[in-house]
Amino acid sequence: MPTRDFGAGLWRLADPKISLASFAAMFLGAAAAAADGPLAWSWLALTILGVFALEVAKNASGEVFDYDSGTDLAVRPEDRSPFSGGKRVLVDGLLTRADTWTIAIAGYLVTILAGVAITVFRNGQVLWLGVAGMAAAFFYHAPPARLSYRGLGEVTVALCYGPLIVAGVYLVQRGTVERGAVLASLPLGLLIAAFLMANEFPDFLADRASGKRTVVVRLGRERGGLLFQATIVMALLLVLCLPLFGLPWTVLLGLLAAVPAISAARLLLAAPADTPRIVPAQAKAMLAFVVYALGSGAGILLGR
């Protein structure tokens, strides 16, 4: 019998691996802001807290909706990976539904409190970005929108973990949004969306059985692999174009992401239905967006 373990369940929902996406976006936004002036560290800390709490809340509420849809239950043991297959806190009995909803509600409340504090005492314009982020997080899994079930999850992820978070962090720091920061966030959004697509390959059978119409389910594994490759190429081409729009040439340090990104594409195309062989592709896809955020962020700072 599964054993309830609140601490282990909370850790899974916090999932440091997946939270790297939001931290990468916040780093890039903070680097762009730091290039244009001193950082307000207390407001940056509150921003990080709010975004991280939202990440945990999204994972928790999404866990319930994915469990109820049958998606998590349909994932075969051989298709589980460190990056996909859900957090499985309900499937593995680590948390009860009440536990999971408690964590979700607490996370959303922390996010709201952080957002209200920033809106009232720092910049009222942040309100609309915060509302958009919370709506995207909750309705990513929840009805009636169920964005991830309607083939809109990848676009949502690209927008949220690219322009929305980067612009939000920059706005809190500088009081406005600068075009360069938004442009630098576009390749990041695409690379994070590619990571999401890589995670959809092991979940293909479970998603299809439960009616979760991800891009990979809609296209099939082979064409999904080609879209993954095209997304990587598009992201890298965008990086090459950034200096043409006024960003410093040092932003091209972000091209270091090409090494793990191209390797991930090769691995995925070679075995799109073999989960053990896909796991290294997932890890390299994750590494690609982290390297891009670090490289381009450092490049923006060096070029100020």
Taking each continuous run of H as one helix and of E as one strand, the counts in the chain are 14, 0
Positions of the chain with pLDDT under 70:
1-2
| Structural domains in the chain plus CATH codes | 6-302 (1.10.600)
- Structure confidence at residue 2 (pLDDT): 62
Backbone φ, ψ for residue 69 (5° rounding)? -75, -15
- 141-149 own/partner pairs: CB under 8 Å, 24+ apart: 141/58, 141/61, 141/62, 141/65, 141/66, 142/61, 142/62, 142/65, 143/65, 146/65, 148/62, 148/212, 148/214, 149/69, 149/211, 149/212, 149/213
Q: Which alpha helices (H) appear in 70-159, and where do they start and end?
A: 71-74, 97-121, 126-139, 153-159
DSSP string, 170-204: HHHHHSS--HHHHHHHHHHHHHHHHHHHHHHTTTH
Token pair 């729009």 in the structure block, residue: 245
- Structure confidence at residue 1 (pLDDT): 47
Handedness of CA 230, 236, 240, 244 (dihedral sign): positive
Instruction: State the greatest distance between any 2 C-alpha atoms of the chain, in Å, as a whole number.
Output: 60
